[in-house]
Amino acid sequence: MADQVHFELVSPERLLFSANVGEVVIPGTEGDFAVLPGHSNLISTVRPGVIHILDNGAQVSDRIFVEGGFAEVNAGGCTVLAERAIKVSEIDRSKAEQALADAREDVQDAKNDTERNAAILAVNIAEARLNALNTSAY
């Protein structure tokens, strides 16, 4: 099928998503990018954010939140390797808010640079997760 992209989302524990879709929008570290059929070969890191999966009519059919990872696009399709991923509809708002508050506290309490960097990373992930809930699909 020429007008479809084969998209796979893989985590270390299992294959999360594998299907032919119309278009995928991936939150790269240097900005979101959309993968359409015939995209040039690309390897990019992924920041914490939402992957939008669009069907053939350019309607968003799935939104999946990932905590970073990296994406590979080649002639065979698009593969995202993410350590943790969850569907946006399955995010628990109170838990997400709690995680953000905890992470912010950790930044305050950090004793050294390594701890602080780890905590800041956690804040970014938690913020991105809440953002994913607050924003709707394109």
Partner 1 sequence: MPSLKDLKIRINSTKNTQKITSAMKMVSAAKLRRAQEQAEAARPYAERMEKVLGSLAASMAGKDNAPALLAGRGSDAVHLLVVMTSDRGLCGAFNSSITRQARKMARDLKAAGKQVKILCVGRKGRDQLKREFPQDIIGTIEDVAKPRLTFEAAAKIAVRIRDMFEAAEFDVCTIIYNKFKSAIAQIVTPQQLIPFALASANENAPTENAGVASTLYEYEPDEASILADLLPRNLSMQVYRALLENSASEQGARMTAMDNATRNAGDMINKLTINYNRTRQANITKELIEIISGAEAV
Contacts with partner 1, residue ranges (CB under 8 A) = 8, 10-15, 28-30, 33, 40-45, 69-70, 72, 74-75, 79, 81, 83, 114
Smaller CB separation from partner 1, 57 or 111: 111
Q: Hey, what are 133's tokens?
A: 């809930």
Q: Considering the complex, state which of residue 4 and residue 11 has its C-beta at the smaller distance from partner 1.
A: 11
Query: C-beta of 30: minimal distance to partner 1 in Å?
Result: 5
CA–CA gap between residue 108 and residue 119 (Å, rounded): 9
Q: Which is nearer to partner 1, 33 or 60 (CB)?
A: 33
Least distance in Å: CB of 110 to partner 1?
A: 15
Q: How far is the CB of 134 from partner 1 (least distance, A)?
A: 27
Owner of token pair 């640079």: 113
Q: What stretch of H or E contains 114?
A: helix 113-134
In three-state secondary structure terms, 66 is strand
- The CA distance from 69 to 85, in Å, is 10
